Amino acid sequence: MTSMKICNAHTTSEWLSQESVRYVASCLEACENADMLADLRAIFPREVLGQGSRFVSLEQRDRLKVWLDSLNQQAA
């Protein structure tokens, strides 16, 4: 499993621009497993991931929730 690094970057207006949020959404939609999600958590600020998750398919959102729960349990 990928190391549990989480991006601590300050969420700026640039991060929350429509273009950035849509890019993050495309990354989340392409995510294939918990390791990939862990990588995205290390790259993108939490708030931006949350905003981007609103634009993924319902099926992918369900998978992301399962992977996120798994990652959070490993970090605990």
pLDDT 10s digits, 11-59:
999 999 999 999 999 999 999 999 999 999 999 999 999 999 999 999 9
Residue 4 confidence class, pLDDT cut points 50, 70, 90: confident
Give the Cβ contact number of residue 44 at 10 Å.
24
- Is pLDDT at 3 greater than 70 in this prediction? no
Dihedral of the alpha carbons of 58, 46, 68, 38, in degrees to the nearest 10? 110
Q: What is the DSSP string of 2-24?
A: -----------TTTTSHHHHHHH
- Single pTM value for the model: 0.90
Structure tokens of 5? 């690094």
* pLDDT of amino acid 65: 97
> Contact at 8 Å (CB) between 19 and 48?
no
CA distance 27 to 14: 17
